[in-house]
Structure 1
């Protein structure tokens, strides 16, 4: 039985089921699934599984703005309103939340890892809705365990203004240490680890982090200014070169990578953040490779949002990414 697990409830999806695909919304089509149901058998074909990670403990520890704990709820509400474009053959299951207010961040990451592994054992594609960016380490570990049989080279693509490569030997893990933890884990296991970040802001990362990146193999980045100055083809070519040796990809999208005009409700607001349309074009290109095995959206903080701009943007990304991934499923 999964720990810290709360099965999905229908409160996010108030619409009745609708088989008329020309009028259906996500709220009509999403089905609820209990991951602790031991009678479940692996599904056939391509289907998605939503998992909420209701924790921003890492944000608290990292001195960020709390509130991302409610991100999963609000993104679900926005997602339910969107039109259904996935047809009859692709299903989306809401598998509930990892939620343990009295548990440690590390406990919740372990629980998320187990939930992601469970989803993959059912042949479902995991979509994790955070939560702070501590979501990443739990999600990544779950993907790694779920792929254990084939052991592919699992690369990481992060859209973020922060490297999140901070050392944690003194402060302990938090929302800014997840990718350093991934690096250290794979170094200890002598496993493949390649990590690229798109949207880095120089004023949001200290020189120690740039120094660590410069001295570490298989970590590279583009700054937000690089993305602003370059044309789409140039960025796409850079991305293609970086992901060429990744057999599988874990994709993570930090909502604080976007300009605050588009995403005001985040843990760390960004006045010079990325343009969401350019970012979506790059992410769709990555998804079209068929290599992505799981993605998440993190740091949506509804208490700081304005007219649901940020949660709606996150839901819209799920809308587009699921279509691309389903179309290019291998």
Structure 2
């Protein structure tokens, strides 16, 4: 880690409120709520796991959404997604464990401070050989997560690419307004550009009516950024989409994957910071997520922008939990193989 001592800022240890079900050793009947274990990242006596295990961490902030004039509420996303995940059946076998390591939570701290705190927590998770699954929070989650992955693997990974399922580029300039939920990937680009380091970014599901022409102009003039619109994905055969994704990610050594829940049609995901009348199909997205997971390149992923106060019958939180369920299963099988 970048700090010698292990004392994470803005860090709250996990509480068992989402996992009150009794332990169930029968894997045929167990649910995630029976199996998830709690872990304190500030415990400096923890040894690194011998094999890759999963770690859940919440990012309880939607300050960036508020600054970006979105609908606040994603600060409670981690709580509700945990509740939905706890109900999922356990399909990960006996050798895989999932640890809830708590939250980054600082209501009186700045967004930039919280992003930095998340990055340190991600480094700590990698140090312990935990695969990071970050539950947002607004999409300001992305920059902190990415920086943590980048610093935590600096010696081992030189080509960390980014794949984002989103209707927005989130490449807005931030020099005057400051960072927010719509600037994270511009911050990643600038960070790597200033250092002369690798940065490659693919966005799947862009909506033309949700991005101004300045953003399309920036993408057109910038190397190693590409996208498919939601309408293109609707019209294209699945094999063609997968082929395009494979071509773009071919030279990525590892992939940071981020899923913005506002990329889906509001019929499937009404509880988000920015609703979409014409969004992506969850089934198509899941097929692509499984394909990316099977590549063995995923280094960490997050699900962001779930806003429970705007949700209907927990549809959005349940969909986010469902993505976690399937991604972990594919990653676990790939890691074993």
Q: Report TM bin, short chain.
A: over 0.9
Of 181, 197, 203 in structure 2, the residue corresponding to residue 191 of structure 1 is: 197
Render the CA deviation track for 1:52-72: whole Å, top value 9, x for unaligned.
Answer: 000000000000000000000
Task: State the SS of the aligned residue for 1:294.
Answer: strand
Of 220, 225, 239 in structure 2, the residue corresponding to residue 219 of structure 1 is: 225
- CA RMSD between the two structures: 0.6
Q: Which runs of 4+ in 1 moved over 2 A?
A: none
Q: Which runs of 5+ in 1 are unaligned?
A: none
Of 310, 313, 316 in structure 2, the residue corresponding to residue 310 of structure 1 is: 316
Corresponding position of 2:264 = 258
Corresponding position of 2:287 = 281
The separation in 1 between residues aligned to 2:85 and 2:200, in whole angstroms, is 31
CA displacement at 1:46 relative to structure 2: 2.2
Of 166, 170, 173 in structure 2, the residue corresponding to residue 167 of structure 1 is: 173
Corresponding position of 1:28 = 34
Q: Is the 8 A contact 2:219 2:225 kept in 1?
A: yes
The separation in 1 between residues aligned to 2:165 and 2:96, in whole angstroms, is 27
CA displacement at 1:149 relative to structure 2: 1.6
Task: State the SS of the aligned residue for 2:121.
Answer: helix
Corresponding position of 1:298 = 304
Alignment of 1:49-198 (within 5 A): 49-198=55-204
CA displacement at 1:151 relative to structure 2: 3.2
TM-score, normalisation: structure 2? 0.97
TM-score, normalisation: structure 1? 0.99
The separation in 2 between residues aligned to 1:97 and 1:59, in whole angstroms, is 18
Task: State the SS of the aligned residue for 1:213.
Answer: helix
Task: State the SS of the aligned residue for 1:329.
Answer: helix
Corresponding position: 1:228 with 2:234: yes
Render the CA deviation track for 1:137-172: whole Å, top value 9, x for unaligned.
Answer: 000000001101213200000000000000000100
Aligned residues: 330
Corresponding position of 1:8 = 14
The separation in 1 between residues aligned to 2:229 and 2:133, in whole angstroms, is 26
